[in-house]
A and B are shown apart, each in its own frame.
Chain A
Amino acid sequence: DAGVIQSPRHEVTEMGQEVTLRCKPISGHNSLFWYRQTMMRGLELLIYFNNNVPIDDSGMPEDRFSAKMPNASFSTLKIQPSEPRDSAVYFCASSLLGQGADTQYFGPGTRLTVL
């Protein structure tokens, strides 16, 4: 089992540029989550999908952030335009809702640096 796959692992970009983070959930999982981690705010949920449908995006900081899940095996988190305060580690997680207490499995994260 490959686990949750995220790409790229590291991204360095300049302010104003578009950034796209990618996530492949565990095969068969039906829920997908995007989290952000910073020293100041810790781990916080940005958005989550159930069966490819966005359920709660209340954690998305502002309109510059958008997330899509076109199919069950792929999701993207886009930041346009990026700002230095977006620098953080972004984690994707997936789970199988309906099985017990739906444990979430996290990917290795994408470390984003916006200069």
Chain B
Amino acid sequence: DAKTTQPTSMDCAEGRAANLPCNHSTISGNEYVYWYRQIHSQGPQYIIHGLKNNETNEMASLIITEDRKSSTLILPHATLRDTAVYYCIVRVHRAAGNKLTFGGGTRVLVKP
């Protein structure tokens, strides 16, 4: 699976959009980009995933560059409850199961 690079931490103002970057320059054509987050003392939570098109759901938007070497997770209106560690993961869909390899993630602090 391709390696990802994320900033270690970032702050965001409550009510503003939070833009979380992720670099995955060695991504292969059949690898998806996934985002999970982990709120303190909880299990990781799925946010969104995409292959090459931009995606949006009720939690966030995912913007993938045309060359697919980087992506940005956008939390449109950050709240205090969005304070968490955000993980960008790139992986291939495999028929026999598909483990997640977590890196260090980005620690996001939403401030009032």
Distance of A90 from chain B, by nearest CB (Å)? 10
Count of interface residues, chain A, beta-carbon cutoff 8 Å: 26
Residue ranges of A at the interface with B (Cβ–Cβ < 8 Å): 4, 31, 33, 42-45, 48-50, 55-56, 91, 93, 95, 97-98, 101-109
CB-based contact A106/B44 at 8 Å: yes
Closest 7 A-B residue pairs measured CB to CB? Answer: A106-B43, A43-B102, A50-B97, A45-B99, A55-B97, A103-B46, A106-B44
On chain B, the residues within 8 Å of A44 by CB distance are: 102
Quick check: A50 and B102 within 8 Å, CB to CB? Answer: no
Q: Is the CB of A42 within 8 A of B93?
A: no
Q: Which of B44, B95, B97 has the most CB of A within 10 A?
A: B97
A-B contact pairs, 19 of them (CB 8 A): A33-B99, A33-B100, A45-B101, A48-B97, A49-B97, A50-B97, A56-B97, A56-B99, A91-B44, A97-B95, A101-B34, A101-B49, A102-B98, A103-B34, A104-B44, A104-B46, A107-B43, A108-B43, A109-B43
Majority SS of interface residues in chain B? Answer: loop
- Complex: how many Å from CA A17 to CA B16? 50
Q: Which residues of B contact A48 (CB under 8 A)?
A: 97, 99
Given the complex, which residues of B lie within 8 Å of A49, measured CB to CB?
Answer: 97
Residues of B close to A55: CB separation below 8 A:
96-97
Is the Cβ of A97 less than 8 Å from the Cβ of B97?
A: yes
How far is B61's CA from A110's CA once the two chains are assembled, in angstroms? 31
Q: Is the interface of A mostly helix, strand, loop or mixed?
A: strand
Query: Once the chains are docked, how many angstroms separate the CA of A43 from the CA of B101?
Result: 8
Q: Which residue of A lies closest to B87 (CB)?
A: A43
Q: How far is the CA of A56 from the CA of B100 in the complex (A)?
A: 12
Given A4, A50, A104, which contacts B100 in the complex, CB threshold below 8 Å? Answer: A104
Q: How far is the CB of B43 from chain A (nearest CB, A)?
A: 3
Q: How far apart sit A50 and B98, CA to CA, in the bound complex (Å)?
A: 10
